Structure 1
Amino acid sequence: MECLPKKSSSEVFVKETFNCGGLCFNTFLKENTRRVLVCNGKDYEVELLVLSETSETVKLRINGEITEELAAGDKITIADGSTLIIDNIDINNDKVFFSLECLPKKSSSEVFVKKPFNSLIDFDFVVGDQAPGSDVVAVLDILNDLGMTKTDSGVTSIKQGAAKIASEVEEIRNVLSVGNPCDNPITEKITGISDCHMNLEPGQGFIGFYQNNGYRQIVVAGYSPLETRIAARAFKEAVNLKGNFFIVEGERLDDYRLREMNGLQNKIVQPEPVSGTVSFESSNDLTPPNFPQEKTITLQLRKGWNLVSLPGKLVKFLENDCVKKPVGFVYLKDEKKYVSLKDAARLLKDKFSTYLAENAFWIYSYDDCEQDVIVEDYEKTIVLESGWNLIPNIELSCSFLKRYWWNPVKQEWQTNKLDWKYSGTIVKASEYCEEKQ
């Protein structure tokens, strides 16, 4: 059923209200336009922030949360579990068409009995410095709920500690930390877990209660920002949590299950036992290979263009000291075109992290600065195809016609070998060749 417009109130921005059933179908937006969709009795304010002609993508703000870049056909799950679909992007007319499939509104007869939060007085509420928007919303969700408690005599305000970002925490005392270790280092310091997904499975969140040095800490995290948000909702709505560690299972804010567990451990995967009867020689001279190791490397960026490569499989780009966020571009061999790093991650999916190890890519920096990257040991295969190839700066046994190095200081190509750590090079080959490194 197509949404029918309702008269809007006079506001500075263009704002229109649409009433729908459970589906707002093929609604359109232009830049600097907001629309409020009343879907199943709930309000969804949608605003078009950016429409990119070059990448043919859009960014939206939905009920205060900003999406990533979305292309036609993309489908995302928003905070309450409803689904938004990008139907079409009309570049010529600066319009985006989208549909919203929303969840039924909860019955007004439902009553949530909140647990007493007086025990969280003087806690600091912490998110990562560059936390996803949903982590910030999760903290605000908890803070708003903690800021007042209903009593027989009315609503009473409760004194709370400060809301902080991780870099502002000098000493961990009474802390409620929201977000996984890669987004919020305070979570790792409390739990001892460094895995970005908290050793959880998709669809799982985590609530943990800790005591250290006479202080109490609470961790609310999840496999991804969505699961973190759901775990925060579960924490907020819980009546009485008896225990120390809980798993929150679910993929929607209004549909989750809470169960107690023994705690999260850093996982070590052991080899499966060999079936059947075998005999082996005993030897004290041989040692099995180590597990893949992660390490942090530093890319030395110069102002302007930098052709770089990674010495291993990408795990995560860390924060940098650049005055302005650098921009990355990857050349996709199959499509024979450049795309942004974000688009490359979306298009290559699981192959993205290894693609950056086997191919050189460009970073444009607005000043001289450093970019730290976590990589994992990886045996890479360098492939040369007929024509030009952007590859890591390595010795080649494959034959080639020409080879150039990019000088980031002079901002020009050169034929002399450049010994710049983690740099890339461009090679022209006459035929296909591959070699393992």
Structure 2
Amino acid sequence: MARARSDLLLDRMMSLHPKIIDLTLDRMHRLLAALDHPEAALPPVIHAAGTNGKGSTLAMLRAGIEGAGQSAHVYTSPHLARFHERIRLAGTLIDEALLGDILDECLAANGPDAITYFEITTAAALLAFSRTPADWTLLETGLGGRLDATNVVDRPRLTLITPIDLDHQHYLGDTIGAIAGEKAGILKRGVPCVVGPQPEAALDVIEARAARLGVPLLAHGQHWHVWEERGRLVFQDETGLLDLPLPSLVGAHQVVNAGAALAALRHLGFDEAACEAAMTRAEWPARMQRLRHGPLVEMAQAAGSELWLDGGHNPAAALALVESLSRLPPRPTHLICGMLNTKDVGGFMAPLAQVAGSLRAVSIPDQPATLSAAQTVAHAHAAGLRADAAQDVAAALAGILDEAPGARVLICGSLYLAGVILRDHG
């Protein structure tokens, strides 16, 4: 089968810089100037940074905006199955013809100059957004905030910082405070910021930067509160109380993500109907997602088993997984895990050792930074998990089903692994 034009162009973009990650905004500003500054022609922008929950929070924000009859551009990363997932134009994934055209235009504008893949594809998204009418623009940072390629909008309508944890320490710093300093780099003078639950060290940094820039904060635990009560979500801020359905996204951690989305919607003037839509209509793949069809599901169902998928890959995500699993009907749980060598593998596995009967380790196809299955097994053993290596996910699942028919099987450890699975099971 012939490859799509956009795939060929994206392959070219991968070769434009010797490093995958090289944090600076200089190249981005140069390319945007060559494109006549699409970042200055966007619908009102909501810009989100944080370690965990950015995508889920923006998914709920989009659901609320659309529930109010308005439209939103959305830019997220990474994609799972296809690059097109990163760019949603006024509610619809970008089509192949338009994506090819804007990638071509960005390549021509960049010329022979070095630029990273994320930078030039972010520029392409902004270019598409600037040419398509919508009511809002939702931007998710790729890594950090201060020097992230999305941090080029001078005056967003609102910023949002979800919970911060240790991640990408090679690029952002090895303490919570240092990482928070990078994430807080999205704050803009006088622009309000919704802040999700934070470690004290992170909140101190965010509050100090906000004070310097005159940023009004809408912080969890101070300006808004959210909790689960009797199977409902209760949200309270200075304008009153909301009693809503629990989020459609699975997991107790989604309650605080929902709180941040609701705080943003309320600040922006959306009504209770929009807030309810944010809870009931949001979709976000590979976040405690029950897989319902595809060859692996057929294997699992034949053995009376469930198959679940989650792309979380750091210690906080593992804790959220443990909490989510604890809320499901009791059933033996076994893991299929593949991870990148840039992650805190031991920190991810330690909480899961409390709830998993075993782990089958796989490498992630077509990912140079993947841990080998043997390396993942070694980390799992260190965390107290019974673990074996498998050639691939199908072999891992077959091994689990042979040993424990009727089990709950969770594929986890990486969004890249999740993307491989969703190509056949999305």
Structure 2-normalised TM-score?
Answer: 0.30
Asked which structure has the greater CA Rg, the reply is 1
Higher-strand-fraction structure: 1
Identify which of structures 1 and 2 has the higher relative contact order when contacts are C-alpha pairs closer than 8 Å and 6+ apart: 2
